[in-house]
Homo-oligomer: A and B are copies of this chain.
Amino acid sequence: MTPALGVCYYPEHWPEDWWDRDAARMAEVGIKFVRIGEFAWSRFEPSPGDLHFDWVIRAMDVLGRHGLKVVFGTPTATPPRWMVDKHPDMLAVDANGRKKGFGSRRHYDFSHLGYREEAARITQLLADAVGNHPALGGWQTDNEYGCHGTTYSYSPAAEAGFRTWLEARYGTIEALNEAWGNVFWSMEYNRFDQIELPNLLVAEAAPAHDLDFRRYASDQVAAFNKVQYDILKTKRPDLPVIHNFMGRYTEFDHYDVAETLDVASWDAYPLGHLAQSDEPEDVKRHYMRQGEPDYQAFHHDLYRSVGHGRMWIMEQQPGPVNWANFNPDPLPGMARLWAWEAFAHGAEVVSYFRWRQAPFAQEQMHAGLLRPDSEPAPAYHEASQVAAELRQTAIAGTAAKGRVAIVFDYQSEWAWQIQPQAKGFSHSAHVRAVYAAFRKHGVDIDILSPSTKSFAGYDIVAIPALFAWNDALREAIADFEGHLLLGPRSGSKTQNFAIPAALAPDLPSNLLDAKVLRIDSVDPTLEVEVRGGGGAVRHWRERIETRAEVEIEDADGWPVLIAQGKLHYLAASGNKALVQRIVDYLIAEADVPTLLLPAGVRSRVRDGFRIYVNYGSGAAVLNPAADESGYVLGTAEMPAAGVTVAKLAKAS
């Protein structure tokens, strides 16, 4: 597929006589897709049943006249004020028991079935009103599910739904009591209708109680999405249904939600997310105008997996945003670099948010391609440049399959939030550390879901910090002929959040003959050096009993990396140097080809091209790579924020 640019536009914010000029300029920039509609419910239906789609059809007419395709967003993230009068209990309740009111957005509870019907109703009305418009190019469901902490609600609706869900899952209350270990503190229930949500307790809830609540909440997001998907696909089976997910957001299982999506898109705000992240202060400062160099790429690869191979950027940061503690101006060129990197990782569309900076309301300090006075902002020119370069390079196809894959699992994210044991231990930190270590060598990576049935085709697969096996994954591991890296903490729980009878990592001894006997978790400022070769253990280490070979041990003689054939188990949380050392070792063992990338430079192969991007704040010079036949964009000398595209000698 030929990649394309898009933009987010709100015709309802501007005088109708501005629309034509706006559309003409979009076309001039080289934009193909325009997302509209997702916050406009109060204009579609100002009072109950009083429908007004005429204006938006006129807006689509205008856009279509300029050759633009519309991605239409269902407006369910912002129900109008009258909806709350109609369904006062549709408002979500926070973990402190406080109802969250109207006056911003996302003021609905995923568990509220009355609102779910209203969402279906407006979706159907919209599908009927604009579904056959010739400019229509796709749909977006709702907007940023879960944003502002909205996946979890502690409302009566959620409580009722949770009870029903539990009854469906466990059948009998005895089975639930057994699964949760409720005998522990006399927590045994007599009936499902006695079960409450795991907030506002005296001490922590049973971990299985907490995990099941998160599973339930995640299922409600999926169910909410499915209602819209079914309507939209019924109307237009030919058009993609997309949702715009977010970065670093894991409160629901995106794989599950994407079962009723054709494309996964995400909203990429590299600077805002770095500013709000828990990255070390030096990283935050060094990259404050560029974003963390692996953050975007990781999400591209993740959402390409979530989207069954199809990925868009629905919102791309164009300049300073408004929502972080500090909101720097990007380095000139970053709005171009981010787009190119997204395309390199397989993006079909990169859509800038937003066309014109709004001078009013909550996001008035958020940049657009245009300033509030309609003059071009810097990203306007960068987007034009990207459009020209796409035409010039004629890049198409999709991201090349990686030789390395990493399993990312939302439930493991929740599991270690529920039971960190070492404060700050997280599944995603381990995944990202392994990801970055491979990517440092220019190795292309795929992200896999935990329900992957086979690892065939990969040289190396890593499963860092996965909380519990499932049958598919056990089989994939048993059948895999490449190099596997597991742990720490992998397989340390059952699906019911209990320690498995055979103890972690709970694999057959013919695969890995090892048992985790106990855990030593310490303050993250403390490290135990690893013998012979650098790196250190921190946060977490496992006292392991094993007949496998000890590849690496720490200064106290505890095994750190053990291997049984090609299966490697990492029994500790490593610092950056240790993770790199282990990844380097695996790359060498598996003979995976690498690149010698300058600091700050990253790369990805798509469609016979290798795209290099320079996140550094200074210039960098590329080393020649044997499989390239020359540069089709840029040169080996890359300025800060530079992009260079190499043509591969043969398709990779």
Contact = CB atoms under 8 A, between A and B. Distances in A.
Interface string A67-94: 0000000010011111001000000100
A362 B185 contact: yes
B186 A42 contact: yes
Contacts of A497: 360
A361 B206 contact: yes
Q: How many copies of the chain does the oligomer comprise?
A: 3
Contact of A42 (B98, B183, B196, B422): B183
B185 A78 contact: yes
B523 A288 contact: yes
Given A81-B190, A362-B206, A184 B522 contact: no
Given A518-B367, A526-B285, A207 B361 contact: yes
A328 B503 contact: no
A373 B186 contact: no
Q: Which of A102, A187, A358, A515 has the most CB of B within 10 A?
A: A187
Interface stretch (A57-65, A318-326, A621-629): A318-326
A415 to B, nearest CB: 12
A70 to B, nearest CB: 19
The interface size bin for chain A is 35 or more
A293 interface: no
A92 B202 CA distance: 9
A310 interface: no
A185 B361 contact: yes
B184 A363 contact: yes
Interface stretch (A103-111, A243-251, A400-408): A103-111
A92 B101 CA distance: 19
A361 B182 CA distance: 7
Contacts of A101: 196, 199-202
Interface of A: 12-13, 39-43, 46-47, 75, 78-82, 85, 92, 96-107, 147-150, 180-190, 194, 196, 198-209, 284-285, 288, 319-320, 322, 325-329, 357-365, 367, 371-373, 377, 419, 421-423, 496-503, 515, 517-523, 525-526, 543
19 contacts: A13-B183, A42-B186, A47-B190, A81-B189, A101-B199, A103-B201, A104-B187, A104-B202, A104-B203, A105-B185, A180-B360, A181-B361, A288-B523, A327-B519, A359-B498, A360-B496, A364-B498, A367-B518, A373-B503
